[in-house]
Amino acid sequence: MASISLQNVSRHFGDFAAVDGVDLEAASGEFVTLLGASGCGKTTTLRMVAGLEQNTGGRIVIDDEVVSDAARGAFMPPEKRRLGMVFQSYAIWPHMTVFDNVAYPLRIRRRPKDEISQRVKLALKLVEMDSFAARPAPALSGGQQQRVAIARALVFEPRVLLLDEPLSNLDARLRTQTGDEFRALQKRLGITSLYVTHDQTEAMALSDRVVVMSKGRILQIGAPEEIYRRPNNRGVAEFFGSPNLIAATARASRPLADGLFSIDVEGDGWSGQCQASEGFSPGTVVSVMLRPENMRISDGDAPAMSWKGEVTASVFRGAQRSLSVKTAAGPLNVDISAFAHPAVGSNITLVADEAAAWAMAT
Ligand SMILES: Nc1ncnc2c1ncn2[C@@H]1O[C@H](COP(=O)(O)OP(=O)(O)O)[C@@H](O)[C@H]1O
Ligand SMILES: [Mg+2]
């Protein structure tokens, strides 16, 4: 398997930088996901790795091979890069059987019959679709069609798999199931994968590391839990759900053992301790992130990190209930047990889980 390295990679269309100085490494066997809103440059980045788009700046290296170097005008065409690709539209041919769909790329390259048969069987086995070989492609569910597309990408034994929103045509339940299956397959094969999605939940569930992008640039790279719990700015924090970002003033900072810092903060009528990735000099205004699931309704206690407020909205979501609460610190979002149902208009006190409080520069 192979590693992928993007070094200061850019793609300009005229004056517009669709991708702007991206630095990114995927280790051999790693599952790395590019995550960001529509138009942030994910597909363009993937297409440059594939060689379907030429980078106007920087270098792309697969294993130790420079496949593109803008400064030297070096460019290896896509068919020489040995990559497997899966896209949003299944792009499997409806008039062919499953077998013929997977065999197609080998046939157009005029591989011997025996080799084709062997490789197709192996690829179909990998995605557990070998018993469907004779089926016409339209007689498959969306998830099965996507597995055929993955088998077709694997049939060349690619060094790397590139996947662009491969699940977004599936309905919600199938998306989760197919995603989980694909993750298991990727782990089993140990194939380096670069995956693109705009869906945060999908990115967190599948990836070893997530690359959060915005406007052609990388905002943060990290393991899913790191990105979710320790965003390095508000943009990343707000990309996942609806976190509370509460203004406060840093009073003191102490380094912790693991490279993090403990920060004493004071807000309007509350105070407490947060963690942060940096120390702040006393008096610095910071944003304290508390996710809705990191707050609860007080059962009589009123610690320093708590807010009095009035319930303004209550939404039943099955697994939990989401409340909006009007407080002096602004409106706060809280997820509570679906069995609790404080009335809209009632006054409550919200208590934060201090261990989850995360401070960022504003
Ligand atoms: N061939 C092109 N010519 C001009 N602009 C392009 C071209 N391809 C992509 N773009 C622009 O580059 C930006 C990034 O596009 P894309 O990589 O497709 O985003 P994403 O996949 O994150 O939705 C968008 O603003 C898009 O309109
Ligand atoms: Mg795209």
pLDDT (tens digit per residue) in 188-216: 889 999 999 999 999 999 999 999 999 99
**Total number of residues shown for the chain:** 362
> Which atom of ligand 1 is closest in space to residue 53's alpha carbon?
1
Q: How far is the CA of 66 from the centre of ligand 1 (A)?
A: 24
List the domain range (segments joined by +) for residue 92.
Answer: 4-234
For residues 25 and 153, membership in a common domain is answered with: yes
Rounded CA separation 174/78 (Å): 31
128 is a domain residue: yes
Q: Given this model, what pLDDT does residue 128 score?
A: 87
Q: Which residues lie with the beta carbon below 6 Å from any ligand 1 atom?
A: 13, 18, 36, 38-44
Q: Given this model, what pLDDT does residue 109 score?
A: 85
Q: Which of 195, 217, 234 is the last residue of a domain?
A: 234
Q: Given this model, what pLDDT does residue 4 score?
A: 97
Q: How far is the CA of 165 from the centre of ligand 1 (A)?
A: 15
* Sheet of strand 192-197: strand arrangement: 83-86, 160-164, 192-197, 31-35, 209-214, 217-222
With 80 as the cut, is the pLDDT of residue 89 above it?
no
Band of residue 92 on the pLDDT scale cut at 50, 70, 90: confident
Average pLDDT over residues 40-47: 97
40 is a domain residue: yes
Band of residue 10 on the pLDDT scale cut at 50, 70, 90: very high
**Nearest residue by C-alpha to atom 4 in ligand 1:** 13
Q: How far is the CA of 336 from the centre of ligand 2 (A)?
A: 35
Q: Report CA 289 to chain centroid distance, whole Å.
A: 20
Q: Given this model, what pLDDT does residue 19 score?
A: 98
For residues 202 and 282, membership in a common domain is answered with: no
Percent of the chain with pLDDT over 70: 99
Rounded CA separation 275/261 (Å): 5
Band of residue 108 on the pLDDT scale cut at 50, 70, 90: confident
For residues 105 and 177, membership in a common domain is answered with: yes
Q: Given this model, what pLDDT does residue 229 score?
A: 96
Q: What are phi and psi of 280, to 5 degrees?
A: -120, 140
Which class for 277: exposed (0-12), middle (13-18), buried (19 or more C-beta within 10 A)?
A: middle
Using alpha carbons, list the distances in angstroms from residue 35 to 8, 130, 211, 216, 248. Answer: 18, 32, 6, 11, 29
301 is a domain residue: no
15 is a domain residue: yes
For residues 134 and 51, membership in a common domain is answered with: yes
Asked if 357 contacts 294 with a C-beta cutoff of 8 angstroms, the reply is: yes
What tokens appear for 78 in the block? 């896509």
Q: Given this model, what pLDDT does residue 195 score?
A: 97
> Which atom of ligand 1 is closest in space to residue 14's alpha carbon?
4
Q: Given this model, what pLDDT does residue 90 score?
A: 60
With 90 as the cut, is the pLDDT of residue 270 above it?
yes
Instruction: Using DSSP bridges, classify how beta strands 347-352 and 295-297 pair: parallel, antiparallel or unpaired.
Output: antiparallel
Flag the least confident range among 58-72, 178-192, 294-308: 178-192
140 is a domain residue: yes
Q: Given this model, what pLDDT does residue 171 score?
A: 83
Average pLDDT over residues 327-349: 95
Mean pLDDT, rounded, of the chain: 94
**Nearest residue by C-alpha to atom 20 in ligand 1:** 39
Rounded CA separation 258/260 (Å): 5
What is the per-residue pLDDT across 211-261, written as a single tens digit (0 to 9) for each?
999 999 999 999 999 999 999 999 999 989 899 999 999 999 999 988 999
Q: Which of 234, 253, 272 is the last residue of a domain?
A: 234
Average pLDDT over residues 263-288: 97
Band of residue 39 on the pLDDT scale cut at 50, 70, 90: very high
**Nearest residue by C-alpha to atom 27 in ligand 1:** 39
Q: For residue 165, give the 3-state DSSP assignment.
A: coil
Give the number of the ligand closest to the Cα of residue 34: 1
Q: How many CB atoms lie within 10 A of CB 316?
A: 10
Q: Given this model, what pLDDT does residue 79 score?
A: 87
26 is a domain residue: yes
> Which atom of ligand 1 is closest in space to residue 34's alpha carbon?
22
Rounded CA separation 232/113 (Å): 54
300 is a domain residue: no
CATH (domain of 91): 3.40.50.300
**Nearest residue by C-alpha to atom 12 in ligand 1:** 18
57 is a domain residue: yes
Number of helical (H) and strand (E) elements in the chain, helices listed first = 8, 21
Q: How far is the CA of 227 from the centre of ligand 1 (A)?
A: 25
Q: Report CA 157 to chain centroid distance, whole Å.
A: 25
Instruction: Using DSSP bridges, classify how beta strands 83-86 and 160-164 pair: parallel, antiparallel or unpaired.
Output: parallel
For residues 133 and 44, membership in a common domain is answered with: yes
Q: Which residues pair with 86 in a beta bridge?
A: 163
> Which atom of ligand 1 is closest in space to residue 40's alpha carbon?
22
For residues 208 and 250, membership in a common domain is answered with: no
Q: Given this model, what pLDDT does residue 93 score?
A: 83
Flag the least confident range among 91-95, 134-138, 196-200: 91-95
Band of residue 274 on the pLDDT scale cut at 50, 70, 90: very high
Asked if 247 contacts 289 with a C-beta cutoff of 8 angstroms, the reply is: no
Probe ligand 1: pick from 44, 47, 213, 218, max atoms within 8 Å of CB?
44
How many domains does the chain contain in total?
Answer: 2
Ion ligand 2: residues, CB within 5 A, are 43
For residues 79 and 126, membership in a common domain is answered with: yes
